[in-house]
Amino acid sequence: MTGPLGPAARRRALEHAASSIVALTAPVFEHLHRMADTASRLQLDEATATGVIPYPNVDLLEQAAVAAIRGVKLITGAGMAAISEQHLNVGVMNWWILRGSDVVSKRHVLNPRSDSYYDFSHSRWFQVPAESGRPTLIAPYVDSWGTDDLTITAAIPSPNSAAGITTIVAADLDVRAYIQQVEELIWPARPAALIDSEQRAVASTVPEIETGVRLSSTDIWAVEDRIDLVDLGWSLVLLTR
Amino acid sequence: MNARPERSVDLLSTLTRRVLFTPLADQGRAGTVAERLRTAINLGILAENELLPSETDLAAQFNISPVTLRDALTELRAAGLVTTRRGRGGGTVVSGPLPDQRRASIEAASSLSSVDLRDLADWRRTIGAESARLAARRASERDFTLLERGVENLENASDAVDARRADSRYYIELAAASQSASLSRASIGLQVEYASVLTLVYAHETTRKSVSLLLRTLTRAVRKARVDQAGRFAAQAVDVVAARAALLRAQGWEIS
């Protein structure tokens, strides 16, 4: 399957798609930076020991999260999680989701003895930005005991976290809408794919390269050209048989 | 600490809870609801100190009237399984001390016929094997780490309830690694449906060890992208549990 464009035109189409794909999540990260600023002003020493951010501080966070959910159509949920080195078994997480037309607080189960336990400190969206210290976009994954659905999560570490406390603010994106938009953006450069840092497809124009599949698992397609989306840690690739 | 005025809180959007609180098919009675909650608490699916959804949300979810739900909760309070705090910041919380989970598991498993048991194993094999095959093609580095941690949790489980939880979470992580939301949903459904059987099976340490070994091999096959091998090991692990369950049932679930 080859598109109608020649090599130079495909490369231009890919460059255009690259900037458009970065632009898709730019407003998400803008909101996350605001949320991170808010989170950095909260005193989390006690909260990470008790699991509760006291009222009225939590309201500040809620306002920022609601603004993100209301302000960016792609965002389906947003919030913050923090854990202290001193209380690794506790942690605190506050999250808000869109339910119908309302934004409601979603309470995750943070009790390790429960079958519904949401172990956020071992989740990719928490660990990757905590380790890298940079904004991160987590490629589609099933968020078990969270959304329980295929999810893309944008996350950034909160600056000025107190010593020994790791704080991450994050937003879940509507994965189906995101992939649909990416597929449309890369279609002119077809055959092409958006791949994550592990060379797994986020979206592609090739039916057999489904979301999640590693490019190396297909014998038919090879990468002809690529543009690295440095801010996302992902790449856009032109494919050839 | 200041109390926060309670607004709308979503305690039902986690799938395990939606499975536990599935609406009753017919006009539910308090006894049916109490029984469902009692089983979930006794099996450790709902843990000590876990906050239940509000009475209004829970009644709507079960498709029963708030009055019926209150009757069910009264029954559970009388049995010491939950406590209710009224007022702002209150709610119904699962309380201890933990009951005899082995006895509760026997009661729940005894209601399963041999056909039910076979059917559950068939479904579990289908979900597990297909999850494994897809995970071998789609899992990320982080998925491998989570699966390896899951095997360690099963190996280090201190009792049958811990082992049951570690096993269920492993299969749910495996389904998540397959990137299929539908397989994840099915796997979470099984976490609840198969809980009593798994608890009884995992009282047997040798079975625990056999399954751990198979899951470790399965995890390695997923990491190495060996699709068919991963599917085979997943099916074998399910079959070890199913065989033990059939034996236990034949002996009235009483041997350890």
pLDDT in tens, A188-226: 999 999 999 899 999 999 998 999 998 888 888 999 999
In this predicted model, what pLDDT tens digit does every residue of A146-188 receive, in sequence order? 888 899 999 999 986 677 889 999 999 999 999 999 999 999 9
In this predicted model, what pLDDT tens digit does every residue of B196-238 receive, in sequence order? 999 999 999 999 999 999 999 999 999 999 999 999 999 999 9
| Same domain? B110 vs B188 | yes
Judged by a CB distance cut-off of 8 A, whether residue B50 touches chain A is: yes
User: Is there a contact between B6 and A58 (Cβ–Cβ < 8 Å)?
Assistant: no
Q: How far is A237 from chain B (nearest CA, A)?
A: 18
User: Is there a contact between B109 and B253 (Cβ–Cβ < 8 Å)?
Assistant: yes
In this predicted model, what pLDDT tens digit does every residue of B101-143 receive, in sequence order? 788 889 889 989 999 999 999 999 999 999 999 999 999 988 9
Q: Which residue has the higher pLDDT, A227 or B49?
A: A227
Taking the model in full, what pTM does it have? Answer: 0.85
User: Is there a contact between B64 and B25 (Cβ–Cβ < 8 Å)?
Assistant: no
Q: Does residue A34 register a pLDDT over 80? A: yes
Residue B9 resides in a domain: no
| Same domain? B72 vs B132 | no
Residue B4 resides in a domain: no
Q: How far is A32 from chain B (nearest CA, A)?
A: 22
Domain boundary among B94, B112, B129: B94
Q: Does residue B4 register a pLDDT over 60? A: no
Domain residues of chain A, as ranges? 7-23+177-240, 25-174
| Same domain? B154 vs B234 | yes
Domain boundary among B94, B119, B147: B94
Q: Which domain holds residue B28?
A: 15-94
User: Is there a contact between A79 and A98 (Cβ–Cβ < 8 Å)?
Assistant: no
Return d(Cα B50, Cα A116) in angstroms, integer: 10
| Same domain? B109 vs B71 | no
Write the CATH number for B120: 1.20.120.530
User: Would you give the distance in Å from CA A51 to the centre of its chain?
Assistant: 24
Candidates A52, A105, A213; nearest CB to B7: A105
Domain boundary among B61, B77, B94: B94
The domain A25-174 is placed in CATH, from the list 3.30.450.20, 3.40.30.10, 3.40.50.12780, 3.30.70.250, at 3.30.450.20
Kind of pairing, strands A102-106 and B9-10?
Answer: parallel
What local confidence, expressed as pLDDT, does residue A130 receive?
93
Q: How far is B4 from chain A (nearest CA, A)?
A: 5
| Same domain? B55 vs B122 | no
**Count of domains for chain B:** 2
**A-chain residue closest to B40, CA distance:** A115
| Same domain? B61 vs B165 | no
Q: Is the bond preceding A56 in cis, omega lying within 30 degrees of 0?
A: yes
Chain A residues lying within 8 Å of B16, measured CB to CB: 115-116, 145
